[in-house]
Amino acid sequence: MTPRADTVVTVQMALRAAARRLADAGIATPALDAEVLLRHALGFGGDRAALFLRRPEPLPPAAADALARLLERRLAGEPVAYLTGTREFFGLPFAVGPGVLVPRPETELLVEWALGWLAARSPGPAATVLDVGTGSGAIALALGASLPPGRPHVIVGSDVSETALAVAAANRAALAGQGRAGEVALVRGDLAGWCRGPVDLLLANLPYLRPDQLAGNAELRLEPAEALVSGPDGLAAIRRLVADAPRLLPPGGAVGLEIDPAQADTVAALLGSHLPGATVRVRPDLAGLARHVTAELPAG
Ligand SMILES: C[S@@+](CC[C@H](N)C(=O)[O-])C[C@H]1O[C@@H](n2cnc3c(N)ncnc32)[C@H](O)[C@@H]1O
């Protein structure tokens, strides 16, 4: 029931009503989206406790107006992260906005694998790590912030999109301001063609969808198509990068790619044929879907 204009609307009532509207519109995570948008409207940012404590209180009119505008935009398909301007990735705040892919939780598993791979070759010489298609800088900056200080790995994030690189640079500056950024270089270029190598660890969450997968997905409509779609089968960019991997990787090097689950066998076979002798593994995400393929070359 919609509250009458003269009845007091509490924070809790507004939260319920917003979640109901989003659910009725078929949004996949209505309760979470409503909570994040209401917190943003109230100026609480990531402070969940503040919202919880204010639930019985009346919703200030300015916050009610702000929430109404945010809900309209969400219902029109804008990602929550574009509305709030930020998304947490690997425990770090990342600014995002139109023109840049919102980092996804499944990509955190690729960062975890990369950290494990780097730890396993310790002690050893510092590694050179390249994150191709860095977008907001999510993978490269999460690695930079997580690696133990004192081992001067070289970490580079690259992208073909100037918009993405500007956002990645802003994120690098913001993390550095909080003392949470390692040394990460950012480079503009098409895949890894600009890089002479060697690269010990090649990581990429490149576009991997087919055009029809984007066309049928309202949730992805406002994110940049060039960050999501790659050729008729979604594999154009991944195929080119894998073909370049033998030139870049030294003995003992490794590659980790994010994929669409349906591409697992094809990408595993591609890696196997371009990197003979490598140990190739398909790794599931938290939903059990094949999400990453890794290939590790034997040491020379
Ligand atoms: C799926 S997004 C991933 C962004 C980020 N790595 C993440 O995980 O959130 C793919 C990124 O690859 C970039 N990209 C697409 N084609 C590229 C190319 N040929 N060379 C370099 N980057 C490319 C896009 O601009 C976009 O930022």
Burial class of residue 65 (count of CB atoms within 10 Å of its CB; 0-12, 13-18, 19+): exposed
CA of 258 to the centre of ligand 1 (A): 11
CA of 64 to the centre of ligand 1 (A): 37
CA of 227 to the centre of ligand 1 (A): 5
CA of 29 to the centre of ligand 1 (A): 25
Output the CA–CA distances (angstroms, integers) from residue 12 to 2, 19, 41, 56, 78, in the order listed: 14, 11, 14, 6, 24
Check if 136 has its Cβ closer than 6 Å to any atom of ligand 1.
yes
Per-residue b or e along 12-40, where b marks 16 or more CB atoms closer than 10 Å to that residue's CB: bbbbebbbebbeeeebeebeebbbbbbbb
Output the CA–CA distances (angstroms, integers) from residue 17 to 31, 44, 65, 67, in the order listed: 10, 19, 14, 11
- Helices assigned H by DSSP within the chain: 11-24, 30-42, 48-53, 61-75, 80-84, 107-120, 138-146, 162-177, 211-215, 236-248, 264-274
Cα(212)–Cα(222) distance, rounded to whole angstroms? 15
Cα(148)–Cα(151) distance, rounded to whole angstroms? 7
Output the CA–CA distances (angstroms, integers) from residue 120 to 123, 127, 154, in the order listed: 8, 12, 17
236, two tokens = 């154009």
5, two tokens = 């204009």
CA of 231 to the centre of ligand 1 (A): 14
Tell me what pLDDT residue 1 has. 45
Residues of the chain with pLDDT under 50: 1
Report the nearest atom of ligand 1 relative to the CA of 133: 12
Protein residue closest via CA to atom 6 of ligand 1 = 134
Cα(220)–Cα(236) distance, rounded to whole angstroms? 20
Tell me what pLDDT residue 151 has. 65
Cα(82)–Cα(223) distance, rounded to whole angstroms? 9
Protein residue closest via CA to atom 7 of ligand 1 = 103
Tell me what pLDDT residue 247 has. 98
241, two tokens = 């990068």
Protein residue closest via CA to atom 26 of ligand 1 = 227
**Tokens 């200080």 sit on residue:** 149
Judged by DSSP in three states, 285 sits in: coil
Judged by DSSP in three states, 18 sits in: helix
Cα(101)–Cα(170) distance, rounded to whole angstroms? 15
Tell me what pLDDT residue 135 has. 97
Tell me what pLDDT residue 6 has. 57
CA of 101 to the centre of ligand 1 (A): 8
Q: What is the pLDDT of residues 68-92, one digit of tens each?
A: 999 999 999 889 999 999 999 999 9
Report the nearest atom of ligand 1 relative to the CA of 240: 19
Cα(193)–Cα(202) distance, rounded to whole angstroms? 13
Q: What is the pLDDT of residues 245-286, one digit of tens each?
A: 999 999 999 999 999 999 999 999 999 999 999 999 999 999
Beta bridge partners of residue 294, listed in sequence order:
256, 281
Protein residue closest via CA to atom 15 of ligand 1 = 227
Check if 168 has its Cβ closer than 6 Å to any atom of ligand 1.
no
Report the nearest atom of ligand 1 relative to the CA of 237: 19
Cα(43)–Cα(293) distance, rounded to whole angstroms? 40
Check if 206 has its Cβ closer than 6 Å to any atom of ligand 1.
yes
Cα(282)–Cα(280) distance, rounded to whole angstroms? 7
